[in-house]
């Protein structure tokens, strides 16, 4: 990046470090931070939508819908995150390719499942082998968002369901006594009130989501943990103009600081939101 970086062998001290930290590989590390932040910004509202749908279904008076909501929450919450991430992404990817295979290759005669192999026609591959690299990266990121949203949506559903049950039933009965039908009571009374009870649990879930972002590595997304391991190891250093020893401890120490600072900022922001929502309410977090 800098002109004096043309001859790395002649550098030392701060100049060497400045050139080392601005190599192309390190730029990938910095971009991966944006990848993690983008994942959080997209996944959080998506997971909240999954959670709201799951909680609404779990409290439905229609039994089949209620069962769907309860099964979704029970299964996803009961399966370890790592096992779910390893299995679901493969199943989701193969599901997309199977649907495309049925559309683009209806005359395919060979079986799709051949032992441990999943074989579809070239037109059904997703993404196509001829697609540019950015398409593969966007596709992998999309699978990561869907997986994270489904997993954390189940936890959000459990939090929101508890918050819905915490709203005083007398308020709902009063609304019905004033002539509101069930849908009006749900959207005008229950939903606005439940956020006050749900925010502490959702705040904890947000922190857990931040801590879970290193699981991106399991999904094939080159996140900050991947690049910290690659750049800090001696194997990578041997193939660059900036050789060094095993520096993984320093890279992972940087990750520790990043996650601690980000979590601290998040907690302060969420605490302010909680105090604002609690203002005038008869709760522990209420302010006069």
Mean pLDDT within 178-196: 87
In the chain, % of residues over pLDDT 70: 93
Which residues lie across from 114 on neighbouring strands? 117
Task: Express each pLDDT in 107-145 by its tens digit.
Answer: 888 888 877 788 888 888 888 778 888 888 888 888 889
pLDDT number for residue 154: 92
More confidently predicted of 214 and 69: 69
Closest CA to 219 of 128, 90, 104: 90
pLDDT number for residue 46: 94
Q: What is the pTM of this model?
A: 0.81
Contact 50, 154 (CB under 8 A): yes
Contact 43, 152 (CB under 8 A): yes
In a domain, 2, yes or no: no
For residues 87 and 85, give the distance between their C-alpha atoms in angstroms, rounded to a whole number. Answer: 6
In a domain, 288, yes or no: no
For residues 75 and 90, give the distance between their C-alpha atoms in angstroms, rounded to a whole number. Answer: 18
What's the domain range around 92? 13-278
Number of domains in the chain: 1
In a domain, 33, yes or no: yes
In a domain, 143, yes or no: yes
For residues 281 and 279, give the distance between their C-alpha atoms in angstroms, rounded to a whole number. Answer: 6
Q: What is the CATH number of the domain that holds 177?
A: 1.10.3720.10
Closest CA to 106 of 120, 90, 95, 119: 120
Is residue 118 classed as helix, strand or coil in its secondary structure? strand
Mean pLDDT within 167-177: 86
pLDDT number for residue 287: 46
In a domain, 123, yes or no: yes
For residues 278 and 82, give the distance between their C-alpha atoms in angstroms, rounded to a whole number. Answer: 36
The pLDDT of residue 283 is above 60: no
Mean pLDDT within 146-166: 91
More confidently predicted of 96 and 217: 96
The pLDDT of residue 34 is above 50: yes
The mean of the pLDDT values for the chain is 85
In a domain, 51, yes or no: yes
DSSP state of 114: E
The pLDDT of residue 4 is above 80: no
In a domain, 36, yes or no: yes
DSSP state of 282: S
For residues 152 and 137, give the distance between their C-alpha atoms in angstroms, rounded to a whole number. Answer: 22
In a domain, 286, yes or no: no
For residues 36 and 59, give the distance between their C-alpha atoms in angstroms, rounded to a whole number. Answer: 34
pLDDT number for residue 124: 86
DSSP state of 116: T
């Amino acid at each position: 990046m800098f002109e004096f970086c043309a001859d790395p062998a002649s550098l030392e001290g701060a100049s060497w470090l400045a050139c080392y930290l601005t190599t192309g590989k390190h730029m990938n590390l910095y971009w991966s931070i944006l990848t993690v932040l983008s994942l959080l910004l997209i996944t959080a509202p998506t997971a909240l939508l999954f959670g709201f749908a799951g909680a609404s279904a779990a409290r439905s008076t229609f039994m089949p819908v209620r069962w769907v909501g309860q099964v979704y929450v029970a299964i996803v919450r009961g399966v370890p995150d790592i096992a779910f991430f390893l299995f679901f992404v493969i199943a989701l990817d193969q599901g997309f390719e199977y649907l495309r295979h049925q559309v683009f290759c209806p005359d395919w005669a060979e079986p799709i499942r051949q032992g441990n192999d999943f074989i579809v026609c070239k037109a059904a591959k997703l993404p196509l082998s001829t697609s540019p690299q950015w398409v593969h990266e966007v596709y992998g990121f999309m699978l990561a968002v869907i997986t994270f949203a489904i997993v954390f949506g189940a936890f959000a559903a459990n939090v929101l369901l508890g918050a819905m049950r915490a709203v005083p039933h007398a308020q709902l009965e009063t609304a019905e006594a004033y002539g509101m039908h069930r849908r009006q009571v749900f959207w005008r009374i229950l939903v606005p009130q439940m956020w006050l009870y749900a925010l502490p649990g959702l705040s904890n879930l947000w922190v857990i989501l931040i801590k879970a972002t290193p699981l991106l590595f399991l999904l094939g997304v080159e996140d900050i943990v991947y690049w910290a391991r690659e750049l800090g190891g001696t194997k990578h250093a041997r193939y660059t103009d900036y050789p060094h020893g095993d520096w993984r401890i320093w890279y992972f120490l940087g990750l520790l600081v990043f996650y601690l600072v980000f979590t601290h900022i998040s907690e302060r922001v969420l605490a302010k939101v909680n105090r604002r929502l609690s203002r005038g309410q008869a709760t522990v977090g209420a302010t006069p």
